[in-house]
Amino acid sequence: MTIQWFPGHMTRARRQIEEKLKLIDVVFELLDARIPQSSRNPMIDEIVGGKPRLILLNKADLADAEQTTRWNKHFKAQGHETLAIDASNGTGVKDISGKVKELLREKIERQLSKGLKPRAARALIVGIPNVGKSTLINRLAGRNVAATGDRPGVTKGQQWIRTGSDIELLDTPGILWPRFEDPEVGNRLAATGAIKEEVLHIDEVACFVLKELAPRYGDVLSERYGLDSLPSSLPDLQSAIEVLEAIGRRRGCLAGGGHIDYEKAAGVLLRDLRSGKLGRITLEGPEEAMEPIGASE
C-alpha cells in the first residue's frame, strides 16, 4: 500500500484515536449519508481494528431515503451494524442503544453469567470534520457539551459524558481525514460543505454537482431553476457550464457587460443543495463503493 499522501498530522490524529480506543467498548463511525464513501476515512478498518463498530449515516434528513436504504444494505453485507440518523433533530438516535446492545451481546452475557451487572458501554465517536460529531454528542447528552460548527471541537481534558441510556461517551470525538487526494471525493466533500470551498474552485464544484445530478435528479434542477431543456446527461465540462449559465441567468447572477457571474451562480446552487432546498439528494451510490478503498494500492 502506498501512503505518500499520509502527512504527519494524520499520523498524529491516528495515534490519538488509537489511544482512545483502549478506553472504549464500541466505536461510532459517523458518515455523511449523502456521501457515505467519500466521507469515510480510507484506513478506517485498520484504525478501528477489531473494536465493535456501529456505522451511523448522519444527515439522513438531507439524503435520498432510497439511497440510504441501499447504503445500509451495502454496509450490512460487509458485516457492519448500521443506522441512519439525523443528529440535529434526533431521528434514529434513540435506536443507537439497541444496536450497541446487539454489538456487545456476548460481552454483556459474559458479565451477566458471572453475576456482574453490565456497566454502561463506553463509546467513541469518530468522523471527518463537519460530519456532525459534536451535534451527535450534544444530542446523546441531552445538553450542549460539545462545540459545533465547521471547526474541530474545542479540546479539553477527556471526560465521560452520560447519555441517559446505557452509553457513556468520550467527550472529545476522534477526528478523521477524508481521502482528499481523489478529485471526485474532493468535489463531493466540497459540495456538501465538508471541506472549505477555498480549497477548490466553487464553479468547478458546481459543474461537478450538475453533472452528477442531471441523470438522477434532473427534474429537481429543472423545476427549481426553470430549465426547460436540461439533458439527462452532461457529458463534458462545457455542457455543465451551459447549465450553470442558465441558472445564473434565471437567478440574476450577473457580472458587468451582461455576462454571467459563474461564482455567484455556483454559490446559489451549492447553498440550495446543502440546505436541502433541492430536496433530499445523495451524491454517490453504493455501486461506486464496491471496491474497498485501498484494495488496489
Q: Which positions touch ligand GDP (CB under 6 A)?
A: 58-59, 61-62, 86-88, 127, 129-135, 148-149, 153
Q: Please identify, using beta-carbon distances, which residue of 137 and 253 lies nearer to ligand GDP.
A: 137
Q: Please identify, using beta-carbon distances, which residue of 104 and 283 lies nearer to ligand GDP.
A: 283
Q: What is the C-alpha separation between 41 and 129, in angstroms, rounded?
A: 11
Q: What is the C-alpha separation between 96 and 142, in angstroms, rounded?
A: 14
Q: Please identify, using beta-carbon distances, which residue of 180 and 262 lies nearer to ligand GDP.
A: 180
How far apart are CB 84 and ligand GDP at their closest, in Å? 10
Beta bridge partners of 167: 121
H or E element, residue 127: strand 121-127
Residue type, 210: L
Q: Please identify, using beta-carbon distances, which residue of 56 and 207 lies nearer to ligand GDP.
A: 56
How far apart are CB 246 and ligand GDP at their closest, in Å? 28
How far apart are CB 151 and ligand GDP at their closest, in Å? 7
Q: Which of 84, 86, 59, 58 is nearest to 69 (CA)?
A: 84
How far apart are CB 173 and ligand GDP at their closest, in Å? 6
Of all residues in this chain, which one has the CB nearest to ligand GDP in the complex?
A: 132
Under a CB-based contact definition with an 8 Å cutoff, are residues 230 and 204 in contact? no
Q: Please identify, using beta-carbon distances, which residue of 104 and 126 lies nearer to ligand GDP.
A: 126
Q: What is the C-alpha separation between 86 and 169, in angstroms, rounded?
A: 18
How far apart are CB 222 and ligand GDP at their closest, in Å? 24
- Our CA angle for 197, 200, 204, nearest 5°, is 105
